[in-house]
Amino acid sequence: MITPLYKEFQAKPSKPEGAHTGLWFDRFFNQYATDWTLDSSAKDSCAKKAWIKKVVGLTGDTKKLETFNHRQIALVAQLKGASQRYTSDWHFVTGMGNSHPVENGFSWHPTLAVPFLTGASVKGLVRAWVEMNDEGLSEELKAARLKSWFGTEKKGDVAEQAGDFVFFDALPDAPPQLACDIMTPHMGKWYSDGDQARLSDSTTIPADWHEPVPVPFLVVKKTSLVFHIAPRKKDPQAELEQVFYALNQALEWLGAGAKTAAGYGYMSEDTRYSEDLKTKLAEQQARQEKEQALKAKLADLSPLAQDYFRQADEGDWQNNKDKFLQAGLIEGWLDTLEENLDATILADMIQLLDLHIRGLLQDPDKVKGKPGKEKPVYKERQRKIAHRINDLR
């Protein structure tokens, strides 16, 4: 491609650092010949390969992908759905039917710059498995399942209802590795003009005398995608496991994306991810319940007391003696209480001090040892704190 600039500035630009890989791949192809065409010559084939190699390697941002997946998992959990990660057995490719100068396009997430499967693709994959392979069901039950899960019994039907499940986009949770693969079709013009084939024209007849034509295309090396499915209503919750079972089978036996007949796109469930996710969701649920309980506890307290109890909660003063007794902490709160006394805060500080230093408040100046050689039981700082608290009572 000739850039309309002065000759010394006509060098083909490279992808800017941090640029969206998908946008660069889709919109900035610069390997055209001088007449703005790409033919089937060897030179142009190399040009396609050169363009694909401009985007191979890792794509996407680790932190952004993690953040996106955490939000998606939280959303799906709130909807009483489930998330599951599947790892590809080999290469994976998606969106090959998209238009592109190198003949085979690619599906990029519009903001995260990673290959992905749309929710519609995931839904279609599960439906394909139910239609073709759910042999445990009678025809009537299968038709009822198709209508309830996907909204229609047949793909061509006009949907009169929404399906019972929401299928979300499936994305990797870490930057995937892109690579360049080569296919070598050798069927002549059979695929493009085969419907008009004549015996007198050997170029349109599929046969082994045709020369292979190397075609480079972009693929994802072994990667993992996180799938999310949620029930649209509460009632189908019990069927969610069956939907995921169908997804498991579809990914294992049908494969996702393109070129599944050549072994691309087959995936297996990452069972460890499920167990880790259950643990994380349980911890998250516990944190939410704790936060709600804290909010209820603080609802009727003064703003000053709310600050105190939030600090106490974050430092776990009830169980962490060192955090509660850290230098300057109690003294700071006593300075505040001496100017603006809050009985709730004072009562809690008394309770914590009794818990962590038993007997201090009752007798701060207590001594031990033989007569004439007595020594204070408590340290000087502890005695000062006890006297200030007792003065506030």
CA distances from 261 to 163, 192, 264, 265, 269 (A): 29, 20, 7, 9, 20
pLDDT band at 41 (very low <50, low <70, confident <90, very high): low
pLDDT band at 5 (very low <50, low <70, confident <90, very high): low
Judge whether residue 144 has pLDDT over 80.
yes
Identity (one letter) of the amino acid at 51? W
Per-residue pLDDT of 264-288, as tens digits, reads 999 999 989 988 988 988 888 888 8
Per-residue pLDDT of 328-352, as tens digits, reads 899 999 999 999 899 999 999 999 9
Q: Give the least confident one: 136-145, 354-363, 380-389.
A: 136-145
How many CA atoms lie within 13 Å of 151's alpha carbon, on the beta-carbon side? 15
In the prediction, which pLDDT does 255 show? 93
As a whole number of angstroms, the distance between CA 54 and CA 19 comes to: 12
pLDDT band at 21 (very low <50, low <70, confident <90, very high): very high
Judge whether residue 263 has pLDDT over 60.
yes
Per-residue pLDDT of 85-133, as tens digits, reads 999 999 999 999 898 888 889 999 999 999 999 999 999 999 999 998 7
Q: What is the CA radius of gyration of the chain?
A: 33
In the prediction, which pLDDT does 38 show? 66
In the prediction, which pLDDT does 8 show? 64
Structural domain boundaries in the chain: 21-269, 301-392
Judge whether residue 65 has pLDDT over 70.
yes
CB 225 within 8 A of CB 86: yes
As a whole number of angstroms, the distance between CA 99 and CA 101 comes to: 7
Identity (one letter) of the amino acid at 307? D
The side-by-side arrangement of strands in the sheet containing 165-167 is 165-167, 224-231, 82-88, 267-269
pLDDT band at 13 (very low <50, low <70, confident <90, very high): confident
In the prediction, which pLDDT does 2 show? 56
- Highest mean pLDDT, choosing among 17-21, 121-125, 276-280, 358-362: 121-125
Q: How high does pLDDT run on average in the chain? A: 88
As a whole number of angstroms, the distance between CA 97 and CA 61 comes to: 26
Judge whether residue 84 has pLDDT over 60.
yes
Judge whether residue 42 has pLDDT over 70.
no
In the prediction, which pLDDT does 173 show? 93
Per-residue pLDDT of 201-251, as tens digits, reads 777 887 778 888 888 899 999 899 999 999 998 777 779 999 999 999 999
Judge whether residue 12 has pLDDT over 90.
no
Kindly report the pTM of this predicted structure. Answer: 0.73
| Helix %, strand %, coil % of the chain (to 5) | 45, 10, 40
